[in-house]
């Protein structure tokens, strides 16, 4: 009888571990999506920053010519 109880407890614990692992995998997948989104935002920010720098260079050049 003791072996049957141990087996039942082992199965129950295995089920709990499986659920924890599945939740962890889901969290990791969600984190991966969020990291990809953040990476895209940083890339866009880099492009915008470059455009702003170009505009500021033009403004600086015009300011130097008018002084």
What is residue 1's predicted lDDT score, i.e. its pLDDT? Answer: 65
**Considering its fold, how many domains does the chain have in total?**
1
Q: 52-65 burial string, b = 16+ CB within 10 Å, else e?
A: eeeeeeeeeeeeee
What domain range is 25 assigned to?
1-67
What is residue 3's predicted lDDT score, i.e. its pLDDT? Answer: 85
At residue 6, does pLDDT exceed 70? yes
Express each pLDDT in 9-66 by its tens digit. Answer: 999 999 999 999 999 999 999 999 999 999 999 999 999 999 999 999 999 999 999 8
């Amino acid at each position: 009888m003791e072996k049957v109880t141990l087996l039942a407890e082992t199965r129950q614990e295995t089920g709990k571990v499986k659920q924890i692992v599945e939740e962890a995998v889901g969290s990791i997948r969600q984190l991966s999506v969020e990291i990809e989104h953040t990476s895209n935002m940083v890339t866009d920010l880099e492009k915008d920053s470059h455009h702003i720098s170009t505009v500021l260079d033009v403004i600086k050049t015009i300011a130097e010519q008018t002084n």
